[in-house]
Amino acid sequence: MPYKEGADLGLNFMYPYQHFNRMKNNWRRSGAMAFMTSAVPGMIVSEADDDRLWHRTGDSLIWDEILQAVESYNAEPIFSALQLDVIETDTISDPPTDAELDALFGGTPAEAGAGWHKFVRNIIYGNNYLIWSDGSAWIYAEGTAAL
């Protein structure tokens, strides 16, 4: 495998700066995933056609997309197993109030920002809530157990 495809450099090896710039730029090119036929876990490629980043992990069968804060609006991630944190508390009423949620989360909806969300289980009443911020208020939906 050549250096530009991820082979390790030898001690005191001289290599043209252009090649290091290509590697630094995450092997950006059109058809990057198909080009990297000898990819090993840890490699990152940048697809020039759609500006997406992809990486290989030890358990990847194919390339996994790296979701980016600004450019992942068109991402459709698929998770084989996703576990979300659930806050269990006895400090909120039924239904929870704005002040109780501020205290529980350690901030206001404005500080959390629009789209921030958590799952909360009230261990006294046995209620489960999905609570999210629209940037100015806490909004909640109560979950109902399946029968």
Alpha helices in the chain (DSSP H): 17-24, 32-35, 98-105, 109-112
CB 120 within 8 A of CB 106: no
Report d(CA 4, CA 55) in Å as an integer: 16
Domain-by-domain residue ranges, the chain?
A: 13-66, 86-143
Judge whether residue 68 has pLDDT over 60.
yes
The mean pLDDT of 85-94, rounded to a whole number, is 92
CB atoms within 10 A of CB 120: 21
At residue 6, does pLDDT exceed 90? no
Q: Residue 82: what pLDDT?
A: 64
**What mean pLDDT is predicted for residues 91-119?**
92
pLDDT at residue 45 in the model = 83
Predicted local confidence at residue 130, as pLDDT: 94
| Distance, first Cα to last Cα, the chain | 57
Instruction: Residue 70: name the closest of 57, 90, 52 by CA.
Output: 52
Average pLDDT across the chain, whole number: 80
What digits encode the pLDDT tens for the residues 26-51?
Answer: 567 888 888 877 777 878 888 888 77
Most confident option among 25-34, 83-92, 93-102: 93-102
Strands (E), the chain: 44-47, 52-55, 64-66, 86-89, 117-122, 127-133, 138-143
Q: What is the DSSP letter of 26?
A: T
Could you give the angle at the alpha carbon of 72 between the alpha carbons of 117 and 62, nearest 5°? 110
Residue 1 is predicted with a pLDDT of 60
Read off the pLDDT of residues 17-28 as tens digits, 9 standing for 90 and up: 666 665 555 567
